[in-house]
Amino acid sequence: MHSGGKMQAVILALLRPVCSLVTVCCQRQKAACFLLTFVCSMSILSLSSCSKPLGWDYFPLSNGAQADYSVEFAAPFVGVQKGKARERVDGRENIRGSDYYKVVSVTTGIPGAESQTNYFRKTEKGIYEIEGKHKDSPEFLAFPFPLVVGSEWTVSEAEGKYECRVESEESAEMWGKTYEHALKMTCHGQYKGKAIEMSEYLAKGVGAVKIVSRYSGVTIEFTLEGYKH
C-alpha cells in the first residue's frame, strides 16, 4: 500500500471506535448528537472510497463495458490502411481458482487482423492478465498499483518482455474530446525476438484512449471514438 493508503487506514482505524462511542451517546441524547453521527458516517465513507490504490480508476472493468476505436495500420509496401476495433468485457471466468474479466477485441477493415480474447484480474497490487492464446500460462502483472508518474515495471508475457514507465500526467485530446489527467505510458522490449515500442494514454473512468505500437516496420494506432461502462 502506498503512503497515502497507509495514512488513510490509520485514520479509519482511529475514527471507527470514536464513531461507535458517538452512536452510544446518541442513543441517550438523540437530538444533540445527530449531526456528529452524520459527520462520522460521512467521514468513514469518504476515507473508505479514497483507500483504493492510485491508478485504480484508470481501469474501469465491468461486465458489458465496451470501447470503440479507429485503427490506422501502416506498413512498408502496403501503405496506410484504416479500420475499426471494438473491445468489450464479455462476462467473467474462473481460471485456476481466481476470477477474471473476459475481454474480447475484434478488429475489422484491416486484412489479416484476428480477434483476441484476454483475461484480466483487478487487485490491490495491480492488474493481472492471462493471454487467451496462452491460457495455460501463469498470469503476469500488466499494470502495477500505485500507478503514478515515474512508476516503472517489467511486463513478462509468454512471447515478449517489456520495460514500462509512466512518463507524465497530461490532457489528451481525441476526436475533439479532452481527457484531463491522462497518464502517458511507454514500453519497449522484445516480442517474438524483435524490437517493439509502445505508447498508451490512460484516462480516469475510461481506460485506454490512445495506443500506438511499432513493431518490425509496422505502426498500428488505436484512437478511442466512444465507450460505455
pLDDT in tens, 57-69: 999 999 999 999 9
Closest CA to 53 of 9, 3, 5: 5
**pLDDT for res 13:** 42
Please give the mean pLDDT across all residues of the chain.
84
Distance CA 223, CA 172 (A): 11
- Read off the pTM: 0.77
Task: Identify the residue with better confidence: 40 or 201.
Answer: 201
Distance CA 126, CA 63 (A): 19
Q: Which residues pair with 170 in a beta bridge?
A: 182
Q: Provide the b/e sequence for 79-113 (b: ≥16 CB within 10 Å).
A: eeeebebbbbbeeeeeeeeeebbbbbbebeebeeb
Q: Which residues pair with 199 in a beta bridge?
A: 186, 212
Question: Hunting for cell 458489458 — which residue is that?
Answer: 64
Question: Band of the pLDDT at 147, cuts 50, 70, 90?
Answer: very high
pLDDT of 106-140, one tens digit each? 999 998 889 999 999 999 999 999 999 999 999 99
**pLDDT for res 78:** 86
Question: Band of the pLDDT at 201, cuts 50, 70, 90?
Answer: very high
Distance CA 225, CA 131 (A): 25
Task: Identify the residue with better confidence: 38 or 209.
Answer: 209
Task: Identify the residue with better confidence: 146 or 51.
Answer: 146
Distance CA 141, CA 120 (A): 10
Instruction: Give Cβ neighbours of residue 56 (< 8 Å, ≥ 6 apart).
Output: 122, 145
Question: What is the pLDDT averaged over residues 88-110?
Answer: 97
Distance CA 62, CA 103 (A): 10
**pLDDT for res 176:** 83
Question: What is the pLDDT averaged over residues 67-84?
Answer: 95
Q: Is it true that the peptide bond before 60 is cis, omega within 30 degrees of 0?
A: no
**pLDDT for res 50:** 52
- 157's grid cell: 508475457
* Residue 99 scores a pLDDT above 60: yes
Residue count (the chain): 229
Which helix (H) or strand (E) is 19 found in, with range? helix 3-28
Question: Band of the pLDDT at 77, cuts 50, 70, 90?
Answer: confident
**pLDDT for res 174:** 85
* Residue 214 scores a pLDDT above 50: yes
Distance CA 162, CA 154 (A): 6
pLDDT of 216-227, one tens digit each? 999 999 999 999
